[in-house]
């Protein structure tokens, strides 16, 4: 039997690995069709997905609660960067909302699981926000939502 590290047992870690595989396929598709124009966005998506994974693993291995929370919080930030990269690919016309939906659903789950880990290891007197509900919104819906926010 091969020894397993504790972080490898985490559901969020396994989900982040699945997202990396999914994102790698998407990046290959995008780069095959639009390589020069989207190289930076694809590179950022790749780096952010790895950063989420690395911070989750490192945070799980830390003993000090504050350090654990910082790494899990950094992982959440990287998950949000991944979501922003997917949005950028849609906005630039290189991916459809339908194509990125599976990836966004994985990111929503990862973000939720990381939020629970942050809350679990945060000191009792720490300020907490309620968990927000995230969903996939079309570019048109986002535009309408922004217009309403500006009072138009």
Summarize pLDDT for 72-101 with one digit per residue, the tens. Answer: 999 999 999 999 999 999 999 999 999 999
What is the mean predicted confidence (pLDDT) over 52-71? 95
Check: CB of residue 135 under 8 Å from CB of residue 108: yes
pTM, full prediction? 0.79
Owner of token pair 């990269």: 85
Question: 24-38, pLDDT tens digit by residue?
Answer: 999 999 999 866 788
Q: pLDDT value at position 152?
A: 44
Give the C-alpha separation, 27 to 39, whole Å: 9
Look up the CATH superfamily of 9-124+133-149: 23S rRNA-intervening sequence (1.20.1440.60)
């Amino acid at each position: 039997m091969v020894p397993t590290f504790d972080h490898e047992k985490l559901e969020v870690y396994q989900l982040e690995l699945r997202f990396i595989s999914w994102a790698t396929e998407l990046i290959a598709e995008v780069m095959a069709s639009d390589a020069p124009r989207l190289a930076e966005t694809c590179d950022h998506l790749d780096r952010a997905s790895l950063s989420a994974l690395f911070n989750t693993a490192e945070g799980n291995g830390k003993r000090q609660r504050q350090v654990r929370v910082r790494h899990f919080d950094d992982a959440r930030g990287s998950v949000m960067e991944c979501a922003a990269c997917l949005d950028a690919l849609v906005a630039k016309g290189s991916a459809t909302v339908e194509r990125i939906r599976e990836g966004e659903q994985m990111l929503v789950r990862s973000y939720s699981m990381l939020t629970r880990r942050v809350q679990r290891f945060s000191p009792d007197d720490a300020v907490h926000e309620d968990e927000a509900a995230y969903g996939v919104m079309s570019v048109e819906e986002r535009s309408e939502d922004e217009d309403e926010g500006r009072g138009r």
